[in-house]
Homo-oligomer: A and B are copies of this chain.
């Protein structure tokens, strides 16, 4: 035996890696043997490929602190496929990247299971992923997640600002809580004792919106645009789908804030403007559509309601 440095001495646990690969093999379409994942391209008239990447941010740190990791996979998938849905795309496949300090096959398997379940819920194949162990570079319990989603949409069905007209209605779909944004702030509130560390309230997984958007398409609604209320909140995300010369008007009295948003605001520690530019305020997805389609939309999606409209003007979001 050579007494030199082996890869295990350097901190990498190849047995744990093999155990993890075995655990997740059945969850990954096509298995874990190939260099790359292969997916059939659906037959379409004039398809565009749509892609999005995102992470879960520091929600992971709060989930670790509160001992509740099993929703993080849905958070990861939702952050990506909800962005895809804003173009009108149907999700096709997903890959994940997980970076850890020391690989715990049980925790990693739990997260991949949550990813696989969320992919299945939106009809998206989990075709691959990478689990990277970085011993010595980060703490043993370090955990970070990144997701990548690809979907397809017919070129003449792409949603966006180019379809939006003055007078269009804005329909809001409720969020399932804080989703995956603003957690540096939430953690500071929890650490200071201002906010109770309630995992049910603070860690509820991010709602998946692609099926809601698909339901409208199936109902024949002429959807113009969709906005995922993610990092930056309403002021940053809603104007992204409104063309120049028009602006969105939203009436905050038209919906109930979710319990999680209310708890954060009740701390009295978050200035109103910061709350609006950090959190979803209770609405996770906005749909912009012709006024006469609003009743079909609110009938087809539980909890959806008209929350505003599009008017002439400039300067981003108007609350009123």
Given known contacts A49-B39, A278-B7, A130 and B146 CB-to-CB distance under 8 angstroms: yes
Q: Is the interface of A mostly helix, strand, loop or mixed?
A: mixed
Q: Which residues of B contact A2 (CB under 8 A)?
A: 271-272
**A138 contacts chain B at the CB level, 8 A cutoff:** yes
Complex interface bits, A179-214 against B, C-beta within 8 A gives 1, otherwise 0: 000101101110010000000000000000000000
| Docked complex Cα distance between A95 and B72 (Å) | 21
**A10 contacts chain B at the CB level, 8 A cutoff:** yes
> Which single member of B44, B83, B269 contacts A5 (CB below 8 Å)?
B269
> Chain B residue with minimal CB distance to A52?
B36
The answer to whether B188 and A9 have CB atoms under 8 Å apart is yes
**A40 contacts chain B at the CB level, 8 A cutoff:** yes
Q: Which residues of B contact A51 (CB under 8 A)?
A: 36-37, 39, 93, 95, 127-128, 148, 150
**A311 contacts chain B at the CB level, 8 A cutoff:** no
The answer to whether A99 and B144 have CB atoms under 8 Å apart is yes
Binding site for B on A (CB under 8 A): 1-2, 4-7, 9-12, 33-41, 44, 47-55, 57-58, 60-61, 83-84, 86-87, 89, 92-93, 95-97, 99, 127-130, 132, 134-138, 142, 144, 146, 148, 150-153, 158, 160, 182, 184-185, 187-189, 192, 227-228, 240, 267-272, 274, 277-278
> Chain B residue with minimal CB distance to A94?
B51
| Docked complex Cα distance between A188 and B273 (Å) | 49
Q: Which residues of B contact A271 (CB under 8 A)?
A: 1-2, 4, 6
Q: Which residues of B contact A272 (CB under 8 A)?
A: 2
Q: A37-B50, A38-B48 are in contact. List 8 more A-B contacts (CB 8 A).
A: A4-B274, A5-B192, A35-B84, A35-B86, A35-B87, A35-B240, A40-B48, A53-B130
